[in-house]
Amino acid sequence: MPLSYILGQEQPKHILKKALEFGSLPHAYLFYGPESVGKKLTAIELAKILNCTEKGPLDRCNTCPSCRKIEARTHPDFFLIEPEKTASGRDGQIKIEQIRDLQKKLVYLPYEGRVKVAVVDSAESLNLQAANSFLKTLEEPPSDTLIILVANNLYQLLPTIISRCQGIKFLSLRPEAVQKILTRKVESGDLALPLEELELRAARSRGRVHRAVEQDLERVQEYRNELLDLVEGSSFENMGQLFEWTRNRARQTEDLQDLLNELLTLIRDLAVLKRSAHPQWIFNRDLLDRLTPLAEQKSLSALLKMFDAAHRTKGALNANLNAQLTLDNMLISFCEAA
């Protein structure tokens, strides 16, 4: 079966299989959906399938020279465009030179494969010039070309780009699929994790593989109680403690986004509990004993305000604002809401 290496993502797989079967591949695909759910992997699998010398163009063998070359990114007809890392290590942009270079290469007929496949990873990081200069190629590319754009957020792309591609939406993976992927990784030796932890990790991953791999379970446990204390204890009377907390937290900048994500989840759980008291829809089900009385205490409007404040803070931290000040600000909003 083609694409069987990809776990989950039934609908995208179905569409691609049909397209391969009918020979109705368009010239440009746009794979979009949450990060780390297999978009880029699917794009690379598709490139292998189209160029495989043994089983292609309906399946791939992963052993022929073509498949191996694509895996090693050395295939002459396979192009992978990624944002260049900037000096500070952040993800940069895709520059117009990269696109011009790609356009020049795509003009030639395939060198050894059947179809030239160009994968543009993180298409939202195409800068304005690059995106615009890609438009004409994307609309009417040279023959025997398949362009695959991979993007996390559809709405960060130019509408003129979206309109020229056939979009395929990827969903968050189900926990079972995440668990299978983790197991496969552990078995193949890519990942060193105890097998019994995998289920919990998969359940907490919200469908994203990298979250499942990276998160530190013990610390998350710690966070959550700390955060609940924060929500519970926020009032103008103990500002001193709160500011103490922000000072400690602001130093560990790399954790902050995770921390805020947890905070948002907790507040969301509280709000849902407040309104319906139906534990089925709660993410942090294991903390229910603590959440229920807290939900009783807070008013819905206070929780909504807290959510807004935390959500704003998350955006502000992304925009590189001073961590301690933004967190202080958030806690002041919490106190106001309480």
Partner 1 sequence: MKIIQTHPRSRAGRARPVRNQTRVFPPSRGQAVLAGEPRNQRFPVEFQVSARKWRPQTFNELVGQEHIVRTLKNAIELGRVSHAYLFSGTRGVGKTTLARILAKALNCQNGPTPEPCGTCPFCIEIREGRCIDVQEIDGASNNSVAEVRELIDNIHYATSACRYKVYIIDEIHMLTRNAFNALLKTLEEPPSRVVFIFATTELNKIPETILSRCQSFEFKPLNHRQIIRQLEEICRHEKIQIDDVSLEEIAKNGAGSMRDAQSLMDQVIAYCGKTINSGSVEAVLGIAGQKALENFVDHLIRKDVTALVGQVQEIAVQGKDLHLFCRDLLEYIRHLTMVKVAKDPARLLDSHACNVETLTRQAGAVHLDELHQIFTVLSRTENEMKRSPMAQMVFEMTVLRLTDVRPFQKIDDLLQEIGQQEAGEFRSAGSPPAPAPIPGGKSVSSSGSAAPAPAGAEETLPWDRVRQEIIRKKSYFDHYLTTCRVIEFGPGNLHLAFSDDFTLGLVKEEKNLETIREAVKKICGHNVEVQLSRDTAPPSAGAGADEKKNPETMNNPPPGPLNETEVIQDALDIFGGVVIR
User: Per CB under 8 A, does 330 bind partner 1?
Assistant: no
Restricted to residues 231-270, the positions that interact with partner 1 (CB under 8 A) are 261, 264-265, 268
Restricted to residues 7-26, the positions that interact with partner 1 (CB under 8 A) are 11, 14-15, 18-19, 22-26
C-alpha distances in Å from residue 154, one per residue of 160, 215, 257? 12, 26, 21
Q: How far is the CB of 238 from partner 1 (least distance, A)?
A: 26
Q: Which two tokens stand for residue 194?
A: 């105890």
User: Per CB under 8 A, does 139 bind partner 1?
Assistant: yes
| Choice from 39, 48, 69, 164 touching partner 1 (CB under 8 A) | 164
Note the Cα 331 to chain centre separation in Å: 28
Instruction: Count helices and strands (H / E) in the chain.
Output: 15, 5
Secondary-structure percent of the chain, ordered helix, strand, coil, rounded to 5: 60, 10, 30
Q: Looking at beta carbons only, is 290 or 305 nearer to partner 1?
A: 305
Decide: residue 165, CB within 10 A, 0-12 exposed, 13-18 middle, 19+ buried: buried
Q: Looking at beta carbons only, is 185 or 268 nearer to partner 1?
A: 268
User: Per CB under 8 A, does 297 bind partner 1?
Assistant: no
Q: How far is the CB of 148 from partner 1 (least distance, A)?
A: 14
User: Per CB under 8 A, does 316 bind partner 1?
Assistant: no
Q: Which residues neighbour 196 within 8 Å (Cβ) at sequence distance 6 or greater?
A: none
Q: How far is the CB of 239 from partner 1 (least distance, A)?
A: 26
Residue 277's region, left for phi above 0, alpha for psi from -120 to 50, else beta, is: left
| Choice from 107, 217, 220, 325 touching partner 1 (CB under 8 A) | 107
Q: Looking at beta carbons only, is 140 or 189 nearer to partner 1?
A: 140
Q: How far is the CB of 289 from partner 1 (least distance, A)?
A: 20
Residue with tokens 């089925």: 280
Give the C-alpha separation, 204 to 311, whole Å.
20
Restricted to residues 24-53, the positions that interact with partner 1 (CB under 8 A) are 24-27, 34, 50
Residue 144's region, left for phi above 0, alpha for psi from -120 to 50, else beta, is: left
| Choice from 62, 127, 133, 324 touching partner 1 (CB under 8 A) | 133
Q: What is residue 253's three-state secondary structure?
A: helix
Restricted to residues 77-106, the positions that interact with partner 1 (CB under 8 A) are 96, 99-100, 103-104, 106
User: Per CB under 8 A, does 215 bind partner 1?
Assistant: no
| Choice from 4, 74, 88, 280 touching partner 1 (CB under 8 A) | 280
User: Per CB under 8 A, does 148 bind partner 1?
Assistant: no
What does R_g of the chain's alpha carbons equal in angstroms? 24
| Choice from 47, 271, 309, 317 touching partner 1 (CB under 8 A) | 271
Q: Looking at beta carbons only, is 241 or 257 nearer to partner 1?
A: 257
What is 293-328 written as a DSSP string? HHHHHS-HHHHHHHHHHHHHHHHHHHTT--HHHHHH
Q: Looking at beta carbons only, is 196 or 263 nearer to partner 1?
A: 263
User: Per CB under 8 A, does 166 bind partner 1?
Assistant: yes
- Asked if residues 291 and 308 have their Cβ atoms less than 8 Å apart, the reply is no
